A and B are shown apart, each in its own frame.
Chain A
Amino acid sequence: MAYIEARGLRKTYGATIALDGIDLQVDEGRLVGLIGPNGAGKTTALNAIVGLTSYEGHLRVLGRDPWTQRDQLVRDVCFITDVAVLPRWMRVSQALDFVAGVHPRFDRAKAEAFLAKTMIRPASKVRELSKGMVTQLHLAIVMAIDGRLLVLDEPTLGLDLLFRKQFYDALLSEYLEQSRTVLVATHQVEEVQHVLTDLLFIDRGRIVFSRSMEEVESRYQEVLVHPDRLATARTLHPIAERQGVGHTILMFEGADRRQLAALGDVRTPSVADLFVAVMNSRQALPQGAAR
């Protein structure tokens, strides 16, 4: 069974089209990155998936309609749609008490173990914590819930590098297993690219790129081309080009690897560079075609 299945998913706010017919399938055991520019529809898509917003079109999450069956769904789906939404009056211990009281799959000891690695004290109130600590607390709660689908919208916003690294390591080693799937929307692509199994780019309400990381590695190459060989390289139809120090970096899609090797050092492009290349190529398209 697909964990998330969307066909022609649409959402409009008045004249604004937030989602313009999204088709999507996410299976179990995946760690999917949803990446897009501001206003592309990431948050709307995630809100529809976790049942926070109504929508048009077909959408099933764990076999359920998230809008009409939200109450049942939310037992299996954990989500952070926004950091800094923990109530400011709450004590850390109260947050744990409450979640333990209402969530059948919450492992309090696990959350406390996460918190023990931080500066957060159980008696502290949320309003006394720094922005990053609030996020740490929220992540600690969510990671201790034994759900099947975890949806995160910019989960590491405001966190320092060490904790971001620690979080994604924990996500890989402790959270992700066969029966679970994680969908994460983020701008900090460099940090997630080594943990992702699948990559989705969203732009103007549509999924414009959807590939597994294996596909990305086999299909896309980046070559560091010396100025002497630049003209030859350009004849192979690079999808993007940018200037490096002493060489030009060209990106190719589905090119012959041996042919590329003759031009210079070949490597797999970073997700960030791939994203920029895909977005730039779309911006080159006329508006109508992009839609």
Chain B
Amino acid sequence: MNDVEISAARRLYWSVRRELWENRAIYLAPLIVAALVLGGFGLSLFTLPDRMRAASALNPAELRTAIEQPYVIAAIVLMAVDLLVAVFYCVDALYGERRDRSILFWKSLPVSDLTTVLAKASIPVLVLPLVTLVATAVTQGIMLLASSAVLAANGMSTATLSAHRPFLEMSRINLGHILMLHGIWYAPFYAWLLLVSAWATRLPFLWAALPPVVIGIVERIAFNSTHFATLVGHLVGGPSRSPGDPGETASGMTMEMLAPHQLRDFLVSPGLWGGLVVTAMFLLAAVRLRRQRGAM
């Protein structure tokens, strides 16, 4: 018998590849949305020279906002797609294979439940943020090049544009925001969805949403407090939005996460490490459930 060993890393690699085969939305959805964003932006280019002439009259702050807007919208839309795909992916990841009974095929191959669950967790935590990052960078890059080309063709200076939206600066901010927030900060949230996906025998979406809502309501009625709701809000809002700080608006959720002080605050925040511990617990529970639960 040929006993060629296959490393755990290789098994993980193939497991991630299989997720990409099955869930093509992981890269198709950002691609399609990026194309739509670019299409819309392309139409707006016709009026760009006029708008730039009008904008020259604005004060610097207003000018900056006007120029930034389309780039920020493009990034927000792509990040929303990232979240949406991640949520739908997680809820189905360990539920779908039991529903269509294909788990019996996967379990007949030498890939452990741990490897499988880690591969599935890597999609929302690592793969989707990377895809979103690249999609955002490419989209914003094309937008910048197209605007510059239009302005140059109209004999206008592109200096204002590049001064306010330096490409590298944008990408650096996106890098920090997407990897830190969408990948690492949201990990416990994704792990919870995977856990429910491994547990539910039907209606995984409902089961994923129900416990947090019920806990929030029970806490409110029993103790007249909203600690749990605040905690969830803190999780969704991101690390810069500390609990018990209701005055802060959604805009307080900063994009600037790679600024040295931000990064330091992020790395020492108890929320991050507490979240990672919770993530590990949820994922281990999902591994156990996948082992015990067979096909439906």
* A81 interface hit (Cβ, 8 Å): yes
CB distance from B18 to the nearest CB of A (A): 6
* B14 interface hit (Cβ, 8 Å): yes
Task: Collect the chain B residues with CB atoms within 8 Å of residue A101's CB.
Answer: 6, 10-11, 13-14, 17
Within 8 A of A (CB), among B1-38: 1-6, 10-11, 13-15, 17-18, 21-22
Task: Collect the chain B residues with CB atoms within 8 Å of residue A54's CB.
Answer: 292
What's the Cα separation between A54 and B294 when bound, in Å? Answer: 11
Given A94-B21, A146-B1, decide whether A86 and B102 contact each other with a Cβ distance below 8 A: yes
| Minimum CB distance partner of B114 in chain A | A71
Q: Tell me which of B40-48, B104-112, B126-134 binds A.
A: B104-112
Task: Collect the chain B residues with CB atoms within 8 Å of residue A82's CB.
Answer: 101, 104, 295
Establish whether residues A53 and B10, one from each chain, have CB atoms under 8 Å apart when the complex forms: no
Given A52-B107, A53-B294, A89-B22, decide whether A71 and B2 contact each other with a Cβ distance below 8 A: no
Establish whether residues B110 and A74, one from each chain, have CB atoms under 8 Å apart when the complex forms: yes
CB distance from A137 to the nearest CB of B (A): 11
Task: Name, among B5, B10, B100, B110, the residue most crowded by chain A CB atoms within 10 Å (CB to CB).
Answer: B110
* A282 interface hit (Cβ, 8 Å): no
* A50 interface hit (Cβ, 8 Å): yes
Within 8 A of B (CB), among A132-178: 138, 142, 146
Chain B 242-272, CB within 8 Å of chain A: the 1/0 string?
Answer: 0000000000000000000000000000000
Establish whether residues B100 and A78, one from each chain, have CB atoms under 8 Å apart when the complex forms: no
Establish whether residues B105 and A89, one from each chain, have CB atoms under 8 Å apart when the complex forms: no
Within 8 A of B (CB), among A10-65: 47, 50, 52-54
| Minimum CB distance partner of A87 in chain B | B102
CB distance from A180 to the nearest CB of B (A): 10
| Minimum CB distance partner of B24 in chain A | A89
Task: Name, among B4, B15, B102, the residue most crowded by chain A CB atoms within 10 Å (CB to CB).
Answer: B102
Establish whether residues B102 and A85, one from each chain, have CB atoms under 8 Å apart when the complex forms: yes
Establish whether residues B10 and A75, one from each chain, have CB atoms under 8 Å apart when the complex forms: no
Given A85-B295, A87-B22, A94-B21, decide whether A102 and B105 contact each other with a Cβ distance below 8 A: no
Establish whether residues B14 and A102, one from each chain, have CB atoms under 8 Å apart when the complex forms: yes
CB distance from B7 to the nearest CB of A (A): 10
Establish whether residues B110 and A84, one from each chain, have CB atoms under 8 Å apart when the complex forms: no
What's the Cα separation between A253 and B218 when bound, in Å? Answer: 71
| Minimum CB distance partner of B106 in chain A | A87
* A211 interface hit (Cβ, 8 Å): no
Task: Collect the chain A residues with CB atoms within 8 Å of residue B102's CB.
Answer: 85-88
Task: Collect the chain A residues with CB atoms within 8 Å of residue B97's CB.
Answer: 87
Given A52-B294, A53-B294, A88-B100, decide whether A79 and B6 contact each other with a Cβ distance below 8 A: no
The residue from B2, B5, B14, B108 contacting A80, defined by CB atoms under 8 A apart:
B108
Establish whether residues B18 and A98, one from each chain, have CB atoms under 8 Å apart when the complex forms: yes
The residue from A53, A104, A142 contacting B4, defined by CB atoms under 8 A apart:
A104
Establish whether residues A102 and B109, one from each chain, have CB atoms under 8 Å apart when the complex forms: yes
* A99 interface hit (Cβ, 8 Å): yes
Establish whether residues A105 and B111, one from each chain, have CB atoms under 8 Å apart when the complex forms: no
Task: Collect the chain A residues with CB atoms within 8 Å of residue B100's CB.
Answer: 87-88
Establish whether residues A90 and B6, one from each chain, have CB atoms under 8 Å apart when the complex forms: no
Task: Collect the chain A residues with CB atoms within 8 Å of residue B14's CB.
Answer: 97-98, 101-102
Given A74-B110, A81-B104, A85-B105, decide whether A146 and B2 contact each other with a Cβ distance below 8 A: yes
Task: Collect the chain B residues with CB atoms within 8 Å of residue A131's CB.
Answer: none
* A103 interface hit (Cβ, 8 Å): yes
Task: Collect the chain B residues with CB atoms within 8 Å of residue A97's CB.
Answer: 14
The residue from A79, A88, A90, A105 contacting B108, defined by CB atoms under 8 A apart:
A79
Establish whether residues A75 and B110, one from each chain, have CB atoms under 8 Å apart when the complex forms: yes
Establish whether residues B21 and A89, one from each chain, have CB atoms under 8 Å apart when the complex forms: yes
What's the Cα separation between A94 and B103 when bound, in Å? Answer: 16
Given A74-B108, A74-B110, decide whether A104 and B101 contact each other with a Cβ distance below 8 A: no
Task: Collect the chain B residues with CB atoms within 8 Å of residue A88's CB.
Answer: 100, 102
What's the Cα separation between A82 and B105 when bound, in Å? Answer: 9
What's the Cα separation between A142 and B109 when bound, in Å? Answer: 10
Given A102-B11, A104-B4, A105-B2, decide whether A85 and B110 contact each other with a Cβ distance below 8 A: no
What's the Cα separation between A98 and B111 when bound, in Å? Answer: 11
Task: Collect the chain B residues with CB atoms within 8 Å of residue A81's CB.
Answer: 104, 108
Task: Name, among B1, B2, B105, the residue most crowded by chain A CB atoms within 10 Å (CB to CB).
Answer: B105
Establish whether residues B1 and A105, one from each chain, have CB atoms under 8 Å apart when the complex forms: yes
What's the Cα separation between A215 and B114 when bound, in Å? Answer: 46
Task: Collect the chain B residues with CB atoms within 8 Å of residue A84's CB.
Answer: 101
Chain A 90-132, CB within 8 Å of chain B: the 1/0 string?
Answer: 1100100111011111000000000000000000000000000
What are 13 of the A-B contact pairs (CB < 8 Å)?
A50-B108, A74-B110, A75-B110, A80-B108, A84-B101, A87-B22, A87-B100, A91-B21, A101-B17, A102-B11, A102-B110, A103-B109, A146-B1
- 10 smallest CB-CB distances across A and B, nearest first, come from A101-B14, A87-B102, A85-B104, A71-B112, A85-B101, A85-B105, A75-B110, A104-B4, A74-B110, A104-B6
Query: With contacts A52-B294, A87-B100, A88-B100 known, what are 20 further pairs, Cβ within 8 A?
Result: A50-B108, A74-B107, A75-B110, A81-B108, A84-B101, A86-B105, A87-B22, A89-B21, A90-B21, A97-B14, A98-B14, A98-B109, A101-B10, A101-B14, A102-B14, A102-B109, A102-B111, A104-B110, A105-B2, A146-B1
